[in-house]
Structure 1
Amino acid sequence: MRIDAACWHGLDPDNMLMTTANPVELLANGFLSPETEPLAAKSVLSSEYQRDDVNSFASLARRRLPAAILSESTRGHPERSARYNDFLAPSGLPYEMRTAMVSHGRAWGCVVFHRTEASGDFTPEDAALMGRLSRPIAEALRNTLRFDAARRAGPQAPGLLVLDPTDGIELATPGTEEVLDLLRYANPGGRGIPEPILIVAAQTRSAAKEGRQPTPLNVPTPNGWVTLHGSMPSGPRDRVAVVLQKTPEAEAVRLRLEAFALSPREREVAALIAQGLDTAAISERLFISPWTVQDHCKAIFEKTGTRSRRALRALVFFEDHLPAIVVRTPLDSEGHLDVVEKPTVSGVDPRR
């Protein structure tokens, strides 16, 4: 199968949002330049998350055959695709085939293959081949992420604090201080134990006395959510161990939605919208009628200030994923962006 250029992307398997982008071949082969690449990226991201374009990665991941050719999907009229008009045709790459890498219903990445006019279009046989390769590539991507995350130890890894009975620090693993600094945002310059740590310690001791499990504490910081888990280690009484870690992506999305005052059911619906599910799929997943789903959607749009499902997905992607992609943030073992701090990209507003 001839390929003139390819662009690979990572996908977060929980919400189907892109986590990485690699346009190296497009640049190396002269289809894009450093000057045109930002506009091309803007067009692709807008096509994926803001406009109703064909063959989105999320839609491919839900198909029996997770590979699709642009000309076939548009019935021979690729100009119906905004992505074709804004990026593919001007770049001299009129032919496109996209594939999502899916294993057991979870997408771990995707690839876009390009061809020039001289090379001709992709064929159904090409799509069938990529469909067969989708699962083994997905499993290879998943395993690579796990091995890579296991090798990478640093401030992104969970931290551990052990507090003595007077809440003095008895032990702290490397990198913990960076997370503590995030928790001190309400008291800039302070070097004492952050208030959330003290709250977890007190709650953990109380839970131990009552014979129940302590509840994890999710703490908002200027750069994202941090989750604190308390436990009582063996040894002297009243010592508390606190694990500090980046809040898992699915929980962080739930917390962000909760900040918009969404009800529990609205948060469930919004999370499924963020994954790209349509009304019928949400109705089936939550065992509610399609009309109830539509009512929830209306309430969600009003509370989040969005007007459509694409706008809601864009809200999650552009505020949480795009800045991390731009600075090439690594991924954790589950395919999520491995960030404690939310990256900032000076002067970039991709929603314009």
Structure 2
Amino acid sequence: MADKRSVAANRTVEALRSSIRDAALATDNPFDFAQAALSVIRRRIPFDRGMVGTADPATLMITSATMVDVTDPTGRAVEIVAELEYGTSPYANTYGRLARKPEGAQMIRDAIDGDVRDALPYQQILEPLGMDDEVRLVFRGRDNRVWGGGTLMRGPGHRFGDADVKALAEIAREIGEGLRLSLIRQAPQMVAEVSDGPAVVIVGEDDEVESVTPRALEFLDRMGGDSQVRMMPAVAAAVRFRNSGDVVVTRMRTADGEWLVLRAGRLDGRGAAGRVVVTLEPAHPAQVVALVTDLYRLTARESEVLGHVLACETRAEIGQRMFISPYTVQDHLKSIYAKIGVNSRQELVAHLFFAHHLPHFGAPVGPDGSFVGTTRSGQNP
């Protein structure tokens, strides 16, 4: 009898593996793959509500969430989950702890000491959803990096068994590899929106604004305040340039939370006393470097170069910081371009922004301008 159960369990696992691999080949992005994976699991291991999310391998923070039959009557589901997972309660970092376990799957009753009904995850997540049991998972790819996490829930009277958890643990790596591949496959499909032109402010010799492009005005309007106040960041950058004589690179934050980079430099040939041009462009979160390094398997040196590129530094500046020649910097850049599939710095920056930065909009922003939240807006069916 035991042998028959073992054979049946092995058949279930192999069927799940095969179906998940097919789903990974048939989908073009993490959202579609996660939906397909949840559907595959549900046919073999029934559950009432479920979620699969991608994670930044460098931080293990969830960066998107695809849910099945999960409602949010309070409107605070994201905040509650984030507070529990990344806060200071005894139940924080459950996915981080699970990532250190070889099996990568665990029932809530095994993760919590004492009566599970007294625990915050039960009281704040399971009970409001009418659920009574939960299995949490982490998904590693073939590179042994954690590319995502998930949770499956069941209502009263239908708890998960050890065989369910074992089967889920057996297929976790297929899901992790599927998430990794879907991130790579999605990247070239993320087409950058074409802006309305350059964001440029011209400041005259008297520190009065002479002209502003529509794109720059759009950025400055988001600073808030009246028409005079909103120009202050550009004028301040110009004044700093006049006082220093060197190109000024600074950052500012819009009222809606986006970081921008301002550059100020000479427009004509009359030195710092002449007209000054100030350009504006979106800033980029620092953790993009860690994610892209893992995703495209950049070397440590290439990763360092990429970080400087996203900081808007020139080849000469990068060479000075890294104590290498600009020609060596260019060699690293060529290798980065080849691995990521772009042909220039401009394409690289656009690719990284729209493939890895833009999808995180809607998540909380940390004090350094980097996204630190766990969900991607608009991804819940």
TM-score by length of 2: 0.48
The Cα of 1:44 is off from its aligned counterpart by: 3.7
Match of 2:213 among 159, 164, 172: 172
Contact 1:55 1:73 in 2 (8 A): no
Q: Which of 122, 130, 136 is residue 172 of structure 2 equivalent to?
A: 130
Distance 1:119 1:340 in 2: 33
The residue that corresponds to 1:333 in the other structure is 356
Q: Structure 1 counterpart of 2:186, which letter?
A: T
Unaligned 5+ segments in structure 2 are 1-40, 289-352, 366-381
C-alpha separation in 1, matches of 2:75 and 2:354 = 23
Secondary structure of the 2:222 match is helix
Of 133, 136, 143, the residue aligned with 1:95 is: 133
Counterpart of 1:248 (choices 277, 285, 297) is 285
Decide which structure has the larger Cα Rg and report it. 2
Unaligned runs of 5+ in 1: 28-33, 252-329, 343-352
TM-score normalised by length of structure 1: 0.51
Written as runs of structure 1 = structure 2, the 5 A alignment for 1:9-20 is 9=53, 11=55, 17=61
Counterpart-to-counterpart distance in 2, 1:123 and 1:66: 9
- Mapping for residues 134-213 of structure 1, pairs under 5 Å: 134-141=176-183, 144=186, 147-148=189-190, 150-152=191-193, 160-163=199-202, 166=205, 168=209, 172=213, 174=215, 176-183=216-223, 185=224, 188-190=225-227, 194-204=231-241, 209=245
- Spell out the pairing of 1:1-352 with structure 2 (5 A cutoff): 1=41, 2-4=45-47, 5-9=49-53, 11=55, 17=61, 21=65, 23=67, 25-27=69-71, 35=73, 37-38=74-75, 44-48=81-85, 49-53=87-91, 56-60=94-98, 66-74=104-112, 78-79=116-117, 81-89=119-127, 91-101=129-139, 109-116=148-155, 117-118=157-158, 120-121=160-161, 122-141=164-183, 144=186, 147-148=189-190, 150-152=191-193, 160-163=199-202, 166=205, 168=209, 172=213, 174=215, 176-183=216-223, 185=224, 188-190=225-227, 194-204=231-241, 209=245, 214-224=247-257, 226-230=259-263, 232=265, 238=275, 240-246=277-283, 248=285, 333-334=356-357, 337-338=360-361
Confirm or deny: 8 A CA contact 1:43 1:86 kept in the other structure. Answer: yes
Aligned length: 246
> What is the root-mean-square deviation in Å for CA atoms of aligned residues?
4.7
Distance 1:169 1:128 in 2: 65
